[in-house]
Structure 1
Amino acid sequence: MTEFLWPIRVYYEDTDSGGVVYYANYLKFMERARTEMLRHKGFEQDRLRDEANILFVVRSVEMDLLQPARFNEQLQVKTRIAESTRTSITFEQHIYRHGEEKPVCSGRIRVVCIDAQRWWPVVIPEEILQEIEA
Protein backbone atom coordinates (compact mmCIF):
# COMPACT_ATOMS: atom_id res chain seq x y z
CA MET A 1 0.00 0.00 0.00
CA THR A 2 1.11 3.53 -0.64
CA GLU A 3 1.45 5.91 2.25
CA PHE A 4 -1.58 7.59 3.77
CA LEU A 5 -0.97 11.21 4.80
CA TRP A 6 -2.80 12.99 7.61
CA PRO A 7 -2.14 16.62 8.68
CA ILE A 8 -1.80 17.58 12.34
CA ARG A 9 -1.42 21.00 13.93
CA VAL A 10 0.31 21.17 17.31
CA TYR A 11 -1.96 22.84 19.85
CA TYR A 12 -0.87 24.32 23.15
CA GLU A 13 -2.47 21.38 24.96
CA ASP A 14 -0.14 19.02 23.06
CA THR A 15 2.99 20.56 24.57
CA ASP A 16 4.81 20.10 27.86
CA SER A 17 6.26 22.75 30.15
CA GLY A 18 9.25 23.09 27.81
CA GLY A 19 6.99 24.07 24.91
CA VAL A 20 7.55 20.90 22.89
CA VAL A 21 5.13 18.10 22.04
CA TYR A 22 4.77 15.79 25.02
CA TYR A 23 5.98 12.35 23.94
CA ALA A 24 2.66 10.52 24.56
CA ASN A 25 0.86 12.90 22.21
CA TYR A 26 2.79 11.52 19.25
CA LEU A 27 0.94 8.26 19.94
CA LYS A 28 -2.35 10.17 19.77
CA PHE A 29 -1.33 11.71 16.45
CA MET A 30 -0.49 8.26 15.10
CA GLU A 31 -3.78 6.83 16.37
CA ARG A 32 -5.73 9.56 14.58
CA ALA A 33 -3.87 8.86 11.34
CA ARG A 34 -4.58 5.11 11.55
CA THR A 35 -8.26 5.81 12.24
CA GLU A 36 -8.45 8.23 9.31
CA MET A 37 -6.69 5.73 7.08
CA LEU A 38 -9.34 3.11 7.89
CA ARG A 39 -12.08 5.71 7.39
CA HIS A 40 -10.58 6.66 4.02
CA LYS A 41 -10.75 2.98 3.06
CA GLY A 42 -14.44 2.87 4.07
CA PHE A 43 -14.17 1.32 7.53
CA GLU A 44 -15.57 3.27 10.48
CA GLN A 45 -14.40 1.93 13.83
CA ASP A 46 -17.84 2.20 15.48
CA ARG A 47 -19.50 0.35 12.60
CA LEU A 48 -16.87 -2.39 12.77
CA ARG A 49 -17.71 -2.79 16.46
CA ASP A 50 -21.49 -2.63 16.02
CA GLU A 51 -21.92 -4.51 12.74
CA ALA A 52 -18.93 -6.85 12.49
CA ASN A 53 -18.37 -7.27 16.26
CA ILE A 54 -14.64 -6.54 15.94
CA LEU A 55 -12.22 -4.02 17.38
CA PHE A 56 -8.62 -3.20 16.56
CA VAL A 57 -6.56 -2.81 19.73
CA VAL A 58 -2.92 -1.86 20.12
CA ARG A 59 -0.74 -4.86 20.95
CA SER A 60 2.70 -3.26 20.81
CA VAL A 61 4.39 0.07 20.17
CA GLU A 62 7.94 0.96 19.23
CA MET A 63 8.61 4.69 18.97
CA ASP A 64 11.68 6.82 18.34
CA LEU A 65 11.65 10.51 19.21
CA LEU A 66 14.10 12.13 16.83
CA GLN A 67 13.66 15.89 17.21
CA PRO A 68 11.21 18.17 19.04
CA ALA A 69 8.04 19.54 17.49
CA ARG A 70 6.66 22.74 18.98
CA PHE A 71 3.44 24.64 19.52
CA ASN A 72 1.57 25.72 16.37
CA GLU A 73 3.76 23.73 13.98
CA GLN A 74 2.09 21.90 11.14
CA LEU A 75 2.96 18.23 11.07
CA GLN A 76 2.09 15.40 8.75
CA VAL A 77 1.71 11.76 9.74
CA LYS A 78 2.70 9.26 7.06
CA THR A 79 1.22 5.82 7.61
CA ARG A 80 1.74 2.58 5.74
CA ILE A 81 1.10 -1.10 6.36
CA ALA A 82 4.42 -2.75 7.15
CA GLU A 83 3.04 -6.25 7.71
CA SER A 84 -0.25 -8.08 8.13
CA THR A 85 -1.20 -11.50 9.42
CA ARG A 86 -4.54 -13.23 9.82
CA THR A 87 -5.15 -11.43 13.14
CA SER A 88 -2.87 -8.38 13.20
CA ILE A 89 -1.65 -5.39 11.24
CA THR A 90 1.65 -3.64 11.82
CA PHE A 91 1.73 0.03 10.84
CA GLU A 92 4.87 2.00 10.15
CA GLN A 93 4.33 5.68 10.91
CA HIS A 94 6.51 8.76 10.59
CA ILE A 95 5.66 12.29 11.69
CA TYR A 96 7.23 15.16 9.76
CA ARG A 97 7.17 18.92 10.01
CA HIS A 98 5.35 20.32 7.02
CA GLY A 99 7.80 20.53 4.13
CA GLU A 100 10.68 18.73 5.83
CA GLU A 101 12.20 15.36 4.97
CA LYS A 102 13.59 14.26 8.35
CA PRO A 103 10.94 12.88 10.73
CA VAL A 104 10.45 14.25 14.22
CA CYS A 105 9.10 10.88 15.35
CA SER A 106 8.85 7.36 13.95
CA GLY A 107 6.96 4.34 15.16
CA ARG A 108 5.80 0.80 14.52
CA ILE A 109 2.42 -0.03 15.98
CA ARG A 110 0.94 -3.51 15.89
CA VAL A 111 -2.82 -3.78 16.27
CA VAL A 112 -4.74 -7.00 16.81
CA CYS A 113 -8.28 -7.71 15.66
CA ILE A 114 -10.43 -8.91 18.56
CA ASP A 115 -14.01 -10.01 19.14
CA ALA A 116 -15.73 -6.97 20.65
CA GLN A 117 -17.64 -9.06 23.20
CA ARG A 118 -15.11 -11.69 24.27
CA TRP A 119 -11.94 -9.61 23.85
CA TRP A 120 -10.24 -12.54 22.14
CA PRO A 121 -8.17 -12.39 18.92
CA VAL A 122 -10.11 -13.19 15.73
CA VAL A 123 -9.32 -13.34 12.04
CA ILE A 124 -9.46 -9.98 10.28
CA PRO A 125 -12.33 -10.03 7.76
CA GLU A 126 -10.96 -10.65 4.26
CA GLU A 127 -12.60 -7.54 2.76
CA ILE A 128 -10.79 -5.35 5.29
CA LEU A 129 -7.41 -6.94 4.61
CA GLN A 130 -7.88 -6.70 0.85
CA GLU A 131 -8.87 -3.04 1.00
CA ILE A 132 -6.14 -1.82 3.37
CA GLU A 133 -3.44 -3.72 1.52
CA ALA A 134 -4.60 -2.42 -1.89
Structure 2
Amino acid sequence: HVRVYYEDTDAGGVVYHATYLQFAERARTEALRYIGIPHAEMLERFGLVFVVHRIKVDYLRPARLDESLQVVTEVLAVGGATVLLQQQVIGTNGSCAMLTVRLACVQAGGNKPGRIPARWRTELDAMRVARMADSGQVAGPARP
Protein backbone atom coordinates (compact mmCIF):
# COMPACT_ATOMS: atom_id res chain seq x y z
CA HIS A 1 0.00 0.00 0.00
CA VAL A 2 1.07 3.56 -0.60
CA ARG A 3 -0.38 6.82 0.68
CA VAL A 4 -0.57 9.82 -1.66
CA TYR A 5 1.45 12.65 -0.16
CA TYR A 6 1.56 16.29 -1.19
CA GLU A 7 4.87 15.69 -2.99
CA ASP A 8 3.10 13.15 -5.25
CA THR A 9 0.53 15.62 -6.53
CA ASP A 10 0.26 18.48 -8.97
CA ALA A 11 -1.19 21.91 -8.23
CA GLY A 12 -4.71 20.48 -8.47
CA GLY A 13 -4.16 17.95 -5.69
CA VAL A 14 -4.19 14.90 -7.98
CA VAL A 15 -1.33 12.45 -8.47
CA TYR A 16 1.10 13.74 -11.10
CA HIS A 17 1.17 11.36 -14.07
CA ALA A 18 4.85 10.39 -13.71
CA THR A 19 4.37 9.50 -10.04
CA TYR A 20 2.42 6.39 -11.07
CA LEU A 21 5.69 5.10 -12.55
CA GLN A 22 7.37 5.50 -9.15
CA PHE A 23 4.52 3.68 -7.39
CA ALA A 24 4.78 0.85 -9.95
CA GLU A 25 8.57 0.62 -9.58
CA ARG A 26 8.29 0.20 -5.83
CA ALA A 27 5.62 -2.47 -6.24
CA ARG A 28 7.76 -4.38 -8.80
CA THR A 29 10.72 -4.25 -6.43
CA GLU A 30 8.61 -5.59 -3.55
CA ALA A 31 7.03 -8.29 -5.76
CA LEU A 32 10.48 -9.53 -6.77
CA ARG A 33 11.66 -9.44 -3.16
CA TYR A 34 8.54 -11.38 -2.08
CA ILE A 35 9.28 -14.25 -4.48
CA GLY A 36 12.95 -14.37 -3.47
CA ILE A 37 14.56 -12.24 -6.18
CA PRO A 38 15.78 -9.10 -4.38
CA HIS A 39 17.68 -6.58 -6.50
CA ALA A 40 20.81 -6.86 -4.35
CA GLU A 41 21.01 -10.64 -4.91
CA MET A 42 20.38 -10.24 -8.63
CA LEU A 43 23.32 -7.88 -8.89
CA GLU A 44 25.78 -9.39 -6.39
CA ARG A 45 25.32 -13.10 -7.08
CA PHE A 46 24.40 -13.10 -10.75
CA GLY A 47 25.59 -9.78 -12.18
CA LEU A 48 22.12 -9.27 -13.67
CA VAL A 49 19.46 -6.59 -13.38
CA PHE A 50 15.95 -6.11 -14.70
CA VAL A 51 15.45 -2.88 -16.62
CA VAL A 52 12.27 -1.44 -18.08
CA HIS A 53 12.28 -2.02 -21.82
CA ARG A 54 8.77 -0.75 -22.50
CA ILE A 55 5.96 0.67 -20.41
CA LYS A 56 2.42 1.65 -21.34
CA VAL A 57 0.14 3.46 -18.92
CA ASP A 58 -3.62 3.89 -19.17
CA TYR A 59 -4.82 6.55 -16.74
CA LEU A 60 -8.35 5.67 -15.67
CA ARG A 61 -9.22 8.12 -12.90
CA PRO A 62 -7.20 10.50 -10.77
CA ALA A 63 -5.85 9.50 -7.38
CA ARG A 64 -6.01 12.32 -4.89
CA LEU A 65 -4.03 13.75 -2.00
CA ASP A 66 -4.08 11.49 1.11
CA GLU A 67 -5.73 8.59 -0.75
CA SER A 68 -4.55 5.09 0.11
CA LEU A 69 -3.53 3.12 -2.99
CA GLN A 70 -2.70 -0.50 -3.65
CA VAL A 71 -0.47 -1.52 -6.56
CA VAL A 72 -1.12 -5.09 -7.74
CA THR A 73 1.61 -6.72 -9.83
CA GLU A 74 0.83 -9.70 -12.06
CA VAL A 75 3.11 -11.72 -14.33
CA LEU A 76 1.61 -12.19 -17.81
CA ALA A 77 4.52 -13.95 -19.56
CA VAL A 78 8.11 -15.02 -18.97
CA GLY A 79 10.61 -15.28 -21.84
CA GLY A 80 14.27 -16.21 -21.93
CA ALA A 81 15.40 -12.67 -21.08
CA THR A 82 12.11 -10.76 -20.64
CA VAL A 83 9.16 -10.59 -18.28
CA LEU A 84 5.80 -9.06 -19.18
CA LEU A 85 3.87 -7.61 -16.24
CA GLN A 86 0.57 -5.93 -15.67
CA GLN A 87 0.31 -3.50 -12.78
CA GLN A 88 -2.89 -1.97 -11.52
CA VAL A 89 -3.04 1.04 -9.20
CA ILE A 90 -6.23 0.76 -7.17
CA GLY A 91 -7.65 3.57 -5.05
CA THR A 92 -10.63 3.89 -2.76
CA ASN A 93 -12.97 4.37 -5.73
CA GLY A 94 -11.51 1.74 -8.07
CA SER A 95 -8.73 1.54 -10.63
CA CYS A 96 -6.66 4.68 -11.15
CA ALA A 97 -4.13 3.36 -13.66
CA MET A 98 -3.24 0.19 -15.55
CA LEU A 99 0.38 -0.36 -16.60
CA THR A 100 1.80 -2.94 -18.97
CA VAL A 101 5.53 -3.34 -18.36
CA ARG A 102 8.12 -5.36 -20.27
CA LEU A 103 11.29 -5.94 -18.26
CA ALA A 104 14.54 -7.05 -19.86
CA CYS A 105 17.17 -9.01 -17.96
CA VAL A 106 20.57 -7.51 -18.74
CA GLN A 107 24.14 -7.94 -17.58
CA ALA A 108 25.03 -5.28 -15.04
CA GLY A 109 27.26 -2.54 -16.38
CA GLY A 110 26.27 -3.08 -19.98
CA ASN A 111 23.40 -3.44 -22.37
CA LYS A 112 23.91 -7.11 -23.19
CA PRO A 113 20.89 -9.36 -22.58
CA GLY A 114 21.18 -11.86 -19.78
CA ARG A 115 19.26 -15.11 -19.57
CA ILE A 116 16.84 -15.25 -16.65
CA PRO A 117 18.17 -17.92 -14.23
CA ALA A 118 16.08 -21.09 -13.90
CA ARG A 119 15.08 -20.44 -10.27
CA TRP A 120 13.85 -16.95 -11.12
CA ARG A 121 11.88 -18.31 -14.09
CA THR A 122 10.25 -20.87 -11.80
CA GLU A 123 9.20 -18.19 -9.30
CA LEU A 124 7.95 -15.82 -12.01
CA ASP A 125 6.07 -18.65 -13.76
CA ALA A 126 4.44 -19.53 -10.42
CA MET A 127 3.07 -15.97 -10.21
CA ARG A 128 1.74 -16.30 -13.76
CA VAL A 129 0.14 -19.68 -13.05
CA ALA A 130 -1.41 -18.35 -9.83
CA ARG A 131 -3.01 -15.55 -11.84
CA MET A 132 -4.39 -17.96 -14.43
CA ALA A 133 -5.75 -20.33 -11.77
CA ASP A 134 -7.50 -17.46 -10.06
CA SER A 135 -9.97 -16.98 -12.94
CA GLY A 136 -9.00 -13.40 -13.59
CA GLN A 137 -9.06 -12.28 -9.98
CA VAL A 138 -6.23 -10.18 -8.60
CA ALA A 139 -3.24 -12.44 -7.88
CA GLY A 140 0.44 -12.26 -7.06
CA PRO A 141 2.43 -11.01 -4.11
CA ALA A 142 0.51 -7.75 -3.71
CA ARG A 143 -2.78 -9.60 -3.25
CA PRO A 144 -4.83 -8.33 -0.31
Q: TM-score, normalised by structure 1?
A: 0.90
Q: 2:53 maps to which residue?
A: 59
Cα separation, 2, equivalents of 1:69 and 1:118? 37
Q: 1:11 maps to which residue?
A: 5
Q: Give the alignment's Cα RMSD to 1 decimal.
A: 1.0
Match of 1:124 among 86, 111, 116: 116
Q: 2:21 maps to which residue?
A: 27
Q: 2:106 maps to which residue?
A: 114
Deviation at 1:104, TM superposition (A): 0.7
Instruction: Work out whether residues 78 and 124 of structure 2, in 8 Å CA contact, stay in contact via their aligned partners in 1.
Output: no
Structure 1 or 2: more strand by fraction: 1
Q: 1:37 maps to which residue?
A: 31
Structure 2 unmatched ranges of 5 or more:
127-144
Deviation at 1:132, TM superposition (A): 1.9
**What amino acid sits opposite 1:48 in the alignment?**
M
Identity percentage of aligned residues: 38
Deviation at 1:82, TM superposition (A): 1.1
Q: 1:77 maps to which residue?
A: 71
Secondary structure of 2:18 counterpart = helix
Residue deviations 1:46-95 (CA, integer Å, cap 9, x gap): 22111110000000011001111011100111110011110100110111
Cα separation, 2, equivalents of 1:118 and 1:58? 14
Residue deviations 1:84-130 (CA, integer Å, cap 9, x gap): 110100110111114x4x31100101000000033211110110010
**What amino acid sits opposite 1:85 in the alignment?**
G
Runs of 4+ in 1 over 2 A off after TM superposition: none
- Count of equivalent residues: 126
**What amino acid sits opposite 1:110 in the alignment?**
R
Q: 2:133 maps to which residue?
A: none
Structure 1 unmatched ranges of 5 or more:
1-6
Cα separation, 1, equivalents of 2:2 and 2:110? 34
Secondary structure of 1:17 counterpart = coil
Instruction: Work out whether residues 51 and 105 of structure 2, in 8 Å CA contact, stay in contact via their aligned partners in 1.
Output: yes
Secondary structure of 1:23 counterpart = coil
